[in-house]
Amino acid sequence: MGERLGPRPSRSERGAVLVETAIFVVLLTTLISGVVRVASTMGATTTLDHAARSLARASGASSPSVVSDTSLLMGLAATLADAPTLRLQRLVVFRPQPGTGDLPSGCDQPAPPNAVAAGVAGVCNIFGPAHLAAVSEGAGPSAGCASGSWEAAWCPATREHNSGELQLVGIRIEAELDPSGLGVLSSGAALTATAVAALDPRVD
């Protein structure tokens, strides 16, 4: 005769095992999702910080010519094309407030829903997803400061490169981390990066 097996687990015991397994799977999935989200957020933050510093340096340059804000937006479009989980909310090119480097009053307004000029005269230009889509499709306007142009509020050509005092330009990028690209079912994380650079003396 064969060896007798132990008593079969009861139906309640089998049910308890299934419940414990389900709880373990849920906890493991949550843990993995959290790790993925944290890692992705850190990577996205690094990408935005690097982009803000690069755009600030480019905006402060004056040789061989002053860099337009539209060119900055095109550079940001190229960066975001390599970071598909990041969705631009706002790009602000601004004159930092003396002593603090903060955004000037009024420059915290939302980006317009359409690709139209936005900003505060003499202190900032504001761009949003519509502007980014336009330059990505090659449909953005040529750089310029004519009335109605994207750069009309704070014209790059009139920024004080040769005022005799240190003049600064700031870049603020606000983006959202798209969770759908991470396989994470949650709301997107809001990310912000700000950088400030000196305006180089202009060589005429």
Q: For residue 69, how many other CB atoms are within 10 A of its CB?
A: 29
| Domain positions in the chain | 43-198
Tokens of 77: 């479009």
Among 69, 94, 98, 67, smallest CA distance to 165 is for 98
The three-class DSSP label of residue 17 is helix
Minimum mean pLDDT range among 5-14, 94-103, 178-187: 178-187
59 to each of 69, 111, 178, how far by Cα in Å? 7, 20, 28
The pLDDT value given to residue 185: 45
Rg, C-alpha atoms of the chain = 26
Token representation of residue 174:
């606000």
Which of residues 145 and 63 earns the better pLDDT score?
145
**C-alpha dist (Å) from residue 41 to 16, 189, 197:** 37, 8, 25
Task: Give the C-alpha separation, 22 to 16, whole Å.
Answer: 10
What single-letter amino acid sits at 98? Answer: P
Supply 79's token pair. Answer: 């960066």
Amino acid at the residue 153: A
Write down the mean pLDDT value for the chain. 82
Q: Give the pLDDT confidence of 159-200 residue by residue, as tens digits.
A: 865 556 678 899 999 999 876 655 544 556 889 999 999 887
Per-residue pLDDT reduced to its tens digit, 69-81? 988 999 999 999 8
Q: What is the pLDDT of residue 65?
A: 65
pTM of the model: 0.79
Residues sharing a CB contact under 8 Å with residue 48, sequence separation 6 or more, in sequence order: 86, 173, 175, 191, 192, 193
